[in-house]
Structures are given as structure tokens and as C-alpha cells.
Amino acid sequence: MADLIIDDPCLDEVITWPKSEWKALWRDGRRWTLLRRVIEFRRRLRAFRFDTVLDLQGLFKSGLLAWMTGAPRRIGLDSREGSALFMSEVVERGGDAARISSEYLHLARHLGLDCGDFLPRLSVTPPAALAADRLMAEHRLRARSYAVCAPFTTRPQKHWFEDAWQSLCRILVERGLTPVLLGGPADAEAAACIASADARIVNLAGRTRLHEAAAVVRSAGLVVGVDTGLTHMGIAFDVPTVALFGSTCPYTITGRDNARVIWLGMQCSPCRRNPTCGGAFTCLRDITPARVMEEVDRVLAA
């Protein structure tokens, strides 16, 4: 994740929490070494002499890190899991929940900031852009000539179905857009199954780091995806985007004319992490490729 923001022009510095190292030390029983690492990290944070820290995650671990900075003003957004104990100020979520980034807009207004249109944005580093260009050249892809498909995320109840992706990809090919599958190494096998439906589908799952995938998204002519970071990148880069929501509570107001959300609004949705359908995931099964293409036509026309 740090690679995605490390060179963002709006940031002066990116400090990464060595979570993996700390977990390994705990697992190996090296408690004194872990304690020293924690103290060193706390000392490093306090050296910046922050006056204000924003905890946007609102979890115990993020609240603890905010407290470790020593900042006198620590503002937590919807703090839970006891993280409110580490805050000097807690802001409850508010605003229009149907709007993308509504909770962050609510916090920005609470802080008295100039919010403008308040749309998500990302930047791409030159090395990431170069890596993406090489991949595109390898598959003879030109900018805007392909559609990024983002089928994968962390929970099965957020996934659209393999056969639906295959049908959609065939239609995209007929429309002159080459489908490009993006995902992580863990998604490679599932991506290969989708790609097996048509030799013209380009499977890049597991072949890009996150910031390189962002560069591929930026140059796409279309993004279609489930509720996952790659899909939201399409909106951030102002690429025509169709997002498919089922088990998660969606934003339906994207802030852009060329981005739309499909959510059927079933009685059992959003179920979040507790599906009640026995694995049927009807909230996504009932979204047909034809329905997706209706929205694709709308965002491309916009």
C-alpha cells in the first residue's frame, strides 16, 4: 500500500508501521526485541512533533498508533474497539452515506477545511507508469483500448460469478474493448479460469504490484469491478467505471457522471460479513451481464 502513495505530491512523508516485523517477533517469542522496536518506533513518531493526528480507521490498532505520536490533538473518526480511549476528540460518522467518501467529507467539514468537490484522487509514479506501459506493449494494448475487470476481493460474498465475468468479457470484446483482469497473486488461479473462456482476455492477475496496477487502471477506457480498491481507483482517475455491490453497503452517488454503481437493494443486503443466503449470494447473482452493459453504455456516453 505504501508504494501507492509514497510519491504523492500532497504528502511530505510516508511513515510505514512495521506490522509484519512486530508480529514475527511476537510469534518467535522475542519479546524484549519487540519491546525495543516498539520504543524505537514511538521515538521516531514523536520526533516529528505532530500537533494533530487523524485516525480515519477508528480501530484499536490505529488509535494506539495515533497515541504513540504524542500529538496533543488526536481526532478519531467513529472510533470503536476501545480506540476512543486514545483520542482527545471523537467525530461520529455523518453526512450522506450514499455519497462516495461521505465520512471523510464529514470529517473535513468538521475540521473547517475547504472541501471543494471532494472527490478521491491518486497519482502514479513514473516507474509504475513505465512498468504498466511495458505490460501494455507486451499485450499490444493501447491506452483507452481496454477494459479493466476487477473481480477479486477478500470475501466471497463480495464476488460476482465466474460465468458472469466470462459472458461480460465476451461482450466487451465484441464492443472493441480488450478485457484485462487485475488482481493479486492469490487471485491468479481464479483469473485463469475466467480467462480460459476467450483467448482475447488478457490476464494480468499477480503480475503487477499495487501501484503498477493503478497505472494500468489510469490508462483504461473502462473499469468494471466489485467492491474492491481497484474499482475505486477507476473513479479516482476519472475513468468510466461501473461498480458492482452486493453484501456491502454501497455508495450510490459517485460524484462523477461517468461512474455508476449497481446495487439491487435486497432486503438481506448489506449483510457485510454475515451472509444469510447459504452461499447463493443472490444480491450479485441477479446482476446480469446485460444489466452491467446497460450501465457501461451510460458511463461511456458520459
The 10s digit of each residue's pLDDT in 194-231 is 999 999 999 999 999 999 999 999 999 999 999 999 99
Asked if 230 and 212 touch (Cβ cutoff 8 Å), the reply is no
Please give the Cα distance from 110 to 105 (Å, whole number): 9
Tens-digit pLDDT profile for residues 271-298: 777 777 777 788 888 999 999 999 999 9
Please give the Cα distance from 197 to 193 (Å, whole number): 7
Asked if 256 and 238 touch (Cβ cutoff 8 Å), the reply is yes
Average pLDDT of 119-131?
91
Q: What 3-state DSSP class applies to 146?
A: strand
Average pLDDT of 141-146?
95
Mean pLDDT for the chain? Answer: 92
Tell me what pLDDT residue 252 has.
86
Tell me what pLDDT residue 261 has.
94
- Nearest residue to 117 via CA among 247, 284, 265, 235: 235
Q: What 3-state DSSP class applies to 180?
A: strand
Looking only at the bridges linking them, the beta strands covering 259-262 and 241-244 are: parallel
- The C-alpha angle 176, 261, 5, rounded to 5 degrees, equals 85
Tell me what pLDDT residue 129 has.
94
Neighbour count for residue 7 (Cβ, 10 Å): 15
Tell me what pLDDT residue 281 has.
82
Q: What letter represents residue 119's amino acid? A: L
Asked if 46 and 69 touch (Cβ cutoff 8 Å), the reply is yes
| Confidence band for 6, pLDDT divided at 50, 70 and 90 | confident
Q: Specify the CATH architecture of the domain 126-301.
A: 3-Layer(aba) Sandwich (3.40)
Tell me what pLDDT residue 135 has.
93
Tell me what pLDDT residue 224 has.
98
- Nearest residue to 225 via CA among 288, 281, 159: 159
- Nearest residue to 180 via CA among 210, 152, 201: 201
Tell me what pLDDT residue 238 has.
96
What are the structural domain ranges in the chain? 17-94, 126-301
| Residues of the chain above pLDDT 70, percent | 100
The 8-class DSSP code of residue 95 comes to S
**What is this structure's pTM?**
0.87
Q: What letter represents residue 68's amino acid? A: M
Average pLDDT of 43-65?
95
Tens-digit pLDDT profile for residues 263-277: 988 777 787 777 777
| Confidence band for 3, pLDDT divided at 50, 70 and 90 | confident
Q: What 3-state DSSP class applies to 63?
A: helix
270 upstream amide cis, omega within 30 of 0: yes
Neighbour count for residue 210 (Cβ, 10 Å): 16
| Confidence band for 80, pLDDT divided at 50, 70 and 90 | confident
